Amino acid sequence: MTERAGRLPLPSRAFRNHQLTPFYDELSALTHSHKALPMNSGAEAVETALKVARKWGYEVKGVPDGQAEIIVASENFHGRTVAIVGFSTDPQSRGGFGPFAPGFRTVPFGDADALEAAIGPNTVAFLVEPIQGEAGVIIPPAGYLKRVRELCTAHNVILILDEIQTGLGRTGKLLAEEHEGIEADLTLVGKALSGGFYPVSAVLSNSEVMSVLHPGEHGSTFGGNPLACAVARAALKVLVEEDMVENAARVGARLQADLDSIDAPRVKQVRGRGLMIAVELHADAGGARTVCEALQARGLLAKETHDHTIRIAPPLILTDSQAAWIAEQFAAVLPG
């Protein structure tokens, strides 16, 4: 990052910079994608996928102009732009920000039958998180994503997996879709794509869906800039070289087991995959916020989601002794 910062900062996106091509190559090879489109924030990657899906719907699927419908899951979190919060079911995310864009329909998360019932002739895409992060690390029933994949294929609907939180090692697999052996048509990555150093996100396409975008139809001043590409390339390199994905699986399982063994009646459930873990408290057990504040006083940052869930998403380089230390801090504050 520091090496690259001393060089040409930002050519126009109309020109290819010499970091961009290797970034495309390396990201596509690692994720088995045919195409990749770099943006900056996660929300921009989501917006990009929505645009691509609608355009594909009109140009390839033959949906009448202006009629494209995208299905989303209840309790979703995909970012903070107006289109995205418009299809949120969380009053805190959407309240006061309307009117919202039409063309979205919501089905319960984890319910493949509901998805099947909601798909109509104008449905172009289903957008879903493999594990809902902000909702409190909600893991869908086993087989859900597999069935979702089958339904999308059968009905010619694009499956968009938002892996901005789950992707790039967090759940102990490179992409969370691997837990069910499926491949999305569009996969969204962000956050860890730069190792947290710089805003970089990307839309990955495992089919020809992205080909509906032509030069001039979509863009971003900073998307794919040389510094972003250099930082992302370095982050992907260390992710592989330092076995961070395997580390997340192994140390994550250990941390989850350690947390689960804490004797605290306030705890309703410990759940997670890899290093994406949640400790859910009983509704009458006092809020998660006070637990998070007590943890912070002990030097551990864990953020509550909603009122009763504490989410733990430590760095993928977490060691066994650090995992043990985290569990010790929870053991100290939870019984109180």
What's the burial of 197, exposed, middle or buried (CB within 10 Å: 0-12/13-18/19+)? middle
Cβ proximity to ligand PLP: between 19 and 93 the closer is 93
> In which residue are the tokens 């920000």 written?
97
Question: Number of residues in contact with ligand PLP, rule: CB under 6 A?
Answer: 14
Sole window of 7-15, 71-79, 261-269, 301-309 interacting with ligand PLP (rule: CB under 6 A)? 71-79
Considering only 134, 177, 280, 304, the residue that binds ligand PLP (CB under 6 A) is 134
Question: Does the annotation mark 263 as catalytic?
Answer: no
243: left (phi over 0), alpha (psi -120 to 50) or beta: left
Phi, psi of 107 (to 5 degrees): -125, 155
* Tokens found for residue 257: 């087991």
Query: Minimum CB separation from ligand PLP for residue 135, in Å?
Result: 10
Considering only 103, 110, 133, 169, the residue that binds ligand PLP (CB under 6 A) is 133
Phi, psi of 85 (to 5 degrees): -70, -20
Catalytic residue among 109, 191, 258, 330: 191
Query: Minimum CB separation from ligand PLP for residue 275, in Å?
Result: 15
194 part of the interface to ligand PLP, by CB under 6 A? no
Considering only 20, 36, 37, 43, the residue that binds ligand PLP (CB under 6 A) is 43
Tell me which residues in 314-333 interact with ligand PLP (CB under 6 A): none
What do you get for the CA distance between the two ends of the chain, in Å? 44
Q: Nearest Cα to 1, choosing from 232, 218, 183? A: 232
88: left (phi over 0), alpha (psi -120 to 50) or beta: beta
Query: Minimum CB separation from ligand PLP for residue 141, in Å?
Result: 19
Q: Which residues of this protein are in contact with ligand PLP, per CB under 6 A?
A: 41-43, 46, 77-79, 129, 133-134, 162, 164-165, 190
- Catalytic residue positions? 77, 162, 191
